[in-house]
Amino acid sequence: MLPWFFDQKYRQRFFYHAILFVLLTAVVVIWSSKNLQLKPEVHWLTLINFIFLTTISYVFFAVNLIYAKKIKTLSLSVGFFTSFIGFALLTLGLAYQSDKDILLIMSSFFGSLGYAVTAYGTFRWVAYNMQVKREILMKTERDELSALLNRRAWAGDAQKEVWFAIKTESPLALLVIDIDDFKAVNDRYGHDVGDVVIKYMASLLSDKVRKTDSVYRWGGEEFIVLLPVTDLDEAFAVASKLLLSAEESMICVNQNQLRVTLSAGVAQWRHGESLTQETFRRADHALLIAKQSGKNKAVKA
């Protein structure tokens, strides 16, 4: 449950904190007993309660201080330590008499400060975890070469878009796009140039689609474009625009100028179909027809 606690390095640090806490407690109790007078009316259960809160605050401080290096912020540990001081002063203020109840006044100040700093630290901690989550998603749902979304992201997004299409009774379409004669590019210029072509086409597709559309690298030189709230004719128009943009582009790499075209299969999702299975297969078959009939064209499924 807490593997970091059982690590030898962390256990040693907790042991040091435990010794420090005991020493601090002993010093404070001895000093208070010699210099302050006990209040007779305080119930012992009240003291136990605030001693417990003081101890817990220190434990949280120790845990967060050890963990602070990982999240690169000390605000949580500082907040808990300030709260620890506040609870310690409150416990002393309840147990001992002080001039004008200065111990209780100081406990209120440190307690409020501790809560404020802890709240700020909590926001930092949440931001850190959100950042880590985004980085994990980037690694698991982004294609390393093209920076496009990958198959994993496609599977998740397809499910969401089908649900949205059913709920809103709106059309949903997809394009399966392939770079024409990509093998010839690799054979003639090498795989490094082929990688440049893939990155260029990935960037072109991302720039030319609508903001509501999503582009995925399916694998190799093949891409998928997911088109929400789009029927077959509208999807065909989008595909035609993308193919025209590719045809008009010139890729310059290693003093070579390459003109690369695309072919596309266009399909609209039908109720009862699996978007990632039946609809995709129909679009992929349309792409095959486009390839066999001359390339550089879009074909409806």
- 226 domain residue, yes or no: yes
- Dist. CA 75–CA 108, nearest whole Å: 19
DSSP-H helix ranges across the chain: 3-6, 8-35, 44-71, 75-95, 102-141, 151-168, 182-189, 191-208, 232-247, 280-292
Q: What is the pLDDT of residue 63?
A: 72
Retrieve residue 120's tokens.
């700020």
Residue 93, domain extent:
3-141
Whether the CB-CB separation of 266 and 175 falls below 8 Å is answered with yes
Of the three residues 113, 141, 169, the one that is the final residue of a domain is: 141
- Nearby residues of 237 by Cβ (< 8 Å), 6 or more positions away: none
Mutual angle of helices 151-168 and 102-141, in 10-degree steps: 100
Judgement on whether residues 25 and 134 belong to the same structural domain of the protein:
yes
Output phi, psi for 172, to 5 deg: -150, 130
The strand pair at 262-268 and 298-300 is best described as: parallel
Q: Which tens digit of pLDDT belongs to each residue from 224-254?
A: 999 999 999 999 999 999 999 999 998 888 7
Neighbours of 252 (CB within 10 A): 10
Q: Which string of b and e fits 49-59 if b means at least 16 CB within 10 Å?
A: ebeebbeebbb
Asked whether residue 77 is assigned to any structural domain, the reply reads yes
What is the C-alpha separation between 275 and 155, in angstroms, rounded? 9
* Strand 222-228 to 96-97 pairing: unpaired
Residue 123 resides in a domain: yes
Is there a single domain that holds both residue 296 and residue 157? yes
Domain count, the chain: 2
Q: Return phi, psi of residue 257, to 5°.
A: -110, 120
Residue 146 belongs to a domain: no
Q: Which residues are catalytic?
A: 221
Same domain, 176 and 211: yes
pLDDT at 10: 67
Task: For residues 159 and 258, state if they share a domain.
Answer: yes
Report residues of the chain scoring pLDDT below 50: 1
Report how far residue 215's alpha carbon sits from residue 245's, in angstroms, rounded to the nearest whole number.
16
Q: Are residues 123 and 168 in the same domain?
A: no
Cβ atoms within 10 A of the Cβ of 62, count? 21
Residues 33 and 132 grouped into a single domain: yes
Same domain, residue pair 164 and 294: yes
Q: Does 296 lie in the same domain as 162?
A: yes
Q: Do 265 and 253 form a contact (C-beta atoms < 8 A)?
A: no
Q: Phi and psi (nearest 5°) for 147?
A: 65, 10
**CA 173 – CA 161 distance, rounded (Å):** 10
Q: Is residue 211 part of a domain?
A: yes
- The answer to whether residues 130 and 155 belong to one domain is no
Exposure b/e, 78-97, CB count within 10 A at least 16 = b: bbbbbbbbbbbbbbbbbbbe
What is the token pair recorded at 154?
Answer: 């496609």
The answer to whether residues 85 and 185 belong to one domain is: no
Beta-ladder partners of 96: 38
| Beta bridge mates, 224 | 176, 216
In this structure, is residue 74 part of a structural domain?
yes
Residues 79 and 134 in one domain: yes
> Do residues 108 and 127 share a domain?
yes
Q: Select from 123, 141, 159 the last residue of a domain.
A: 141
pLDDT for position 1 = 42
Q: Which of 141, 173, 194 is the last residue of a domain?
A: 141
CATH number of the domain encompassing residue 254: 3.30.70.270
Residue 287 domain-assigned (yes or no): yes
pLDDT at residue 298 in the model: 96
